[in-house]
Structure 1
Amino acid sequence: MSRAFLKNESADDPVVIPARAPLPPGVANYVTPRGLTLLRAELAELDAEHAQVQRTEADETERTRQLALINGKVGALHQRIRSAQVVNPGAQPPHEIRFGAAVTLRPKVGPDRQLTIVGVDEADAANGLIAFTAPIAKAMQGKRIGDIVPLRTMKGEEAYQVVAIR
């Protein structure tokens, strides 16, 4: 039987730490105040999970694996928090799209899109939170109300007009 179908893993198998959202080399780790709060909350959750595993896991091999996974996540998270550069969206130019801006884009056809430019760890495209490193965020940077933002999508080249910046 293939090892892929076995529940038990060998103690010698390496622990794979899931990667955090990518941040291009040499790019500052900009975060909103909310983004930094979320990172710190995630750290608190991992600390609680660490304590829980130490208290409840009876199998020493499994406890060691779980703690190694948690410790790896904590290390990556500490690195992100240390490198975070908090940008206050309220201090950005109010009439120009910058980091932290909530933007309303109007396509030629269809409903308006609401997008907010945030840090890579706070990004959640399904909820309109896009990383400042995303192509759409880069295309919007510096635009003002009335400007056109050209975007390459799966449908081809589309143009959106900036109708609001908050």
Structure 2
Amino acid sequence: MAEKTYPMTAEGKKKLEDELENLKLVKRPEIIERIKTARGFGDLSENSEYTSAKDEQSITESRISEVENMLRYAEVIDASAVDENEVSVGKTVTFVETGDTEEESYQIVGSAESDPFSGKISNDSPIAKALLGKKKGDTVLIHTPGGDMEVKITAVK
């Protein structure tokens, strides 16, 4: 079975690489130091500092493993290699919902760099899945958990 790939922009990959470096070179040593200090407080069974540091260590190690895996199977998407009017990962798509006049714009990114509050939606989201491969001028029916919506793509950048 093929491993899952993680489509992402070059910017998204760089951000993950920076996060991994910070986790390994800054956060991990800080936690190890906290554990050493907490051990000095005596009885570990009633030592909340030690328990807290060990919990944080577990979360940090899980995140390191997760980021390493995403980077190992990263698939950097070159949006410029796709037709300029076609929606793809790495591009920003602008559309207007039928019966509405207000345009919405989102950059479609890999799930690892998704941040809807910054206008970056995952290629796995219902909106992105419906729009991928479509072109400027197309009308698309999008099935979302909140109901269906019909949109017209007004721009692809």
TM over 0.5: yes
What does residue 59 of structure 1 align with?
38
d(CA) in 1 for partners of 2:146, 2:70? 35
- Contact map agreement 1:101 1:117 (CA 8 A) in 2: yes
What does residue 74 of structure 1 align with?
64
What root-mean-square deviation, in Å, do the aligned CA atoms of Structure 1 and Structure 2 show?
2.0
What does residue 33 of structure 1 align with?
10
- Give how far 1:26 is off: 5.8
Structure 1: which 4+ aligned runs deviate by more than 2 Å?
25-28, 54-57, 60-69, 152-157
- Partner SS state of residue 80, structure 1: helix
TM-score normalized by structure 1? Answer: 0.76
Distance 1:118-1:54 versus aligned 2 partners, 3 A rule = same
Identity %: 24
What does residue 122 of structure 1 align with?
113
TM-score normalized by structure 2? Answer: 0.80
Distance 1:149-1:26 versus aligned 2 partners, 3 A rule = farther
- Contact map agreement 2:6 2:112 (CA 8 A) in 1: no
**2:73 maps to which of 61, 66, 83:** 83
What does residue 21 of structure 2 align with?
44
Looking at secondary structure, tell me which structure has more helix per residue.
2
d(CA) in 1 for partners of 2:146, 2:69? 38
d(CA) in 1 for partners of 2:155, 2:54? 52
Gapped runs of 5+ residues in structure 1? 1-24
What does residue 94 of structure 2 align with?
104
Gapped runs of 5+ residues in structure 2? 40-49
d(CA) in 2 for partners of 1:75, 1:118? 21
